[in-house]
Amino acid sequence: MSDRVAGIDLSAVLSREESERRVVLAQRRLEHLRLATAGLVNSPERGPGLLVLFEGFDAAGKGGAIRRLTQGLDPRHVRVVPIAAPTEDEARHHFLWRFQPAIPGRGEMTVYDRSWYGRLLVERVEGAIDRATAQTSAKEIVNLEHALVDDGVTIVKFWLHISDEQQLRRFTERANDPLKQWKLTPDDWRNRMKRDAYLDALRDLLAWTDRPHAHWDLIAGENKHYARVAVLETLIERWTHDLARRGFPVPPSRGNDYLL
């Protein structure tokens, strides 16, 4: 398997103006698709549930991408689930147990801000599990995702990637901005020292869990304007393709309101 991480083009750039134009167009298209799959336009038939997972290095732009993804949608039509370390109660169960309530049913949409892949990343890097256990957990994740897809859920998975240098710049900006200091924790600084371990875990994660039914899209996050557009347009492409594959009528784009 080729090294997909090394192949991410971190030089990809979009201007603010071009990014904002394409974000607005993509948001309109996402709104149309979301209303259609919820059975609120065109037909009362509900479409497949949509599950979008975000992973990535700290300060890679996950929050900004999620805001652009959801800001054009009615809050009743999307659920955003931030994932933190498991609570004491959650830790007593199988690691996938705590994610079940938010998995979308037909006509629903869920966005995970971090996900069950923390098992293969932070838990492994922090020594909570070893590589063999991580590989077993990866098989369980693949089986779960396969079952969800077979049951009618569309899964789209994003890894937002930035360089070590860019991460340091963003950390420093946050540290110096009173309105953003809350985003930065001592653990974030400590995790920076383990970047190589996270990269090793990421490469294993991709090798173990990148499957046709639940593909990983690696997004260059060095330029936030580019990354936000890439996330939105990739999501639309993945979503419309899966809807068509399942025989769900994909509403046409209205004139020039969206150009992929």
pLDDT digits (tens, 9 = 90+) for 226-239: 999 999 999 999 99
Q: How far apart are CA 27 and CA 69, in angstroms?
A: 7
Q: What is the pLDDT of residue 187?
A: 87
Q: Which two tokens stand for residue 220?
A: 């260059």
pLDDT digits (tens, 9 = 90+) for 119-173: 999 999 999 999 999 999 999 999 999 999 999 999 999 999 999 999 999 999 9
Q: What is the pLDDT of residue 257?
A: 53
Query: Is 218 a residue whose pLDDT tops 80?
Result: yes
How many independent structural domains does the chain possess? 1
Q: Confirm whether 163 is domain-assigned.
A: yes
pLDDT digits (tens, 9 = 90+) for 8-42: 999 999 999 999 999 999 999 999 999 999 999 98
Q: What is the pLDDT of residue 2?
A: 65
Q: Confirm whether 121 is domain-assigned.
A: yes
Q: Confirm whether 158 is domain-assigned.
A: yes
Question: Range of 125's domain?
Answer: 16-87+101-245
Q: Confirm whether 250 is domain-assigned.
A: no
β-strands 79-82, 216-220: how paired?
Answer: unpaired
Q: Confirm whether 5 is domain-assigned.
A: no
Q: pTM, whole model, 2 decimals?
A: 0.94
Q: Confirm whether 6 is domain-assigned.
A: no
Residues above pLDDT 90, as percent of the chain: 92
Query: Is 253 a residue whose pLDDT tops 80?
Result: no
Q: Confirm whether 183 is domain-assigned.
A: yes
Q: Which two tokens stand for residue 127?
A: 């020594």
CA distances, 14 to each of 26, 67, 132, 151, 229 (Å): 15, 18, 41, 38, 9
Other beta carbons within 10 angstroms of residue 115's beta carbon come to 19
Tell me the average pLDDT across 89-114: 97
pLDDT digits (tens, 9 = 90+) for 181-197: 998 999 899 899 999 99
pLDDT digits (tens, 9 = 90+) for 42-87: 889 999 999 999 999 999 999 999 999 999 999 999 999 999 999 9
The domain spanning residue 131 has which CATH number? 3.40.50.300
Question: 3-state SS string over the chain?
Answer: CCCCCCCCCCCCCCCHHHHHHHHHHHHHHHHHHHHHHCCCCCCCCCCCEEEEEEEECCCCCHHHHHHHHHCCCCHHHCEEEECCCCCHHHHCCCCCHHHHHHCCCCCCEEEEECCHHHHCCHHHHCCCCCHHHHHHHHHHHHHHHHHHHHCCEEEEEEEEECCHHHHHHHHHHHHHCCCCHHHCCHHHHHHHCCHHHHHHHHHHHHHHHCECCECEEEEECCCHHHHHHHHHHHHHHHHHHHHHHCCCCCCCCCCCCCCC
Query: Is 1 a residue whose pLDDT tops 60?
Result: no
Q: Confirm whether 256 is domain-assigned.
A: no
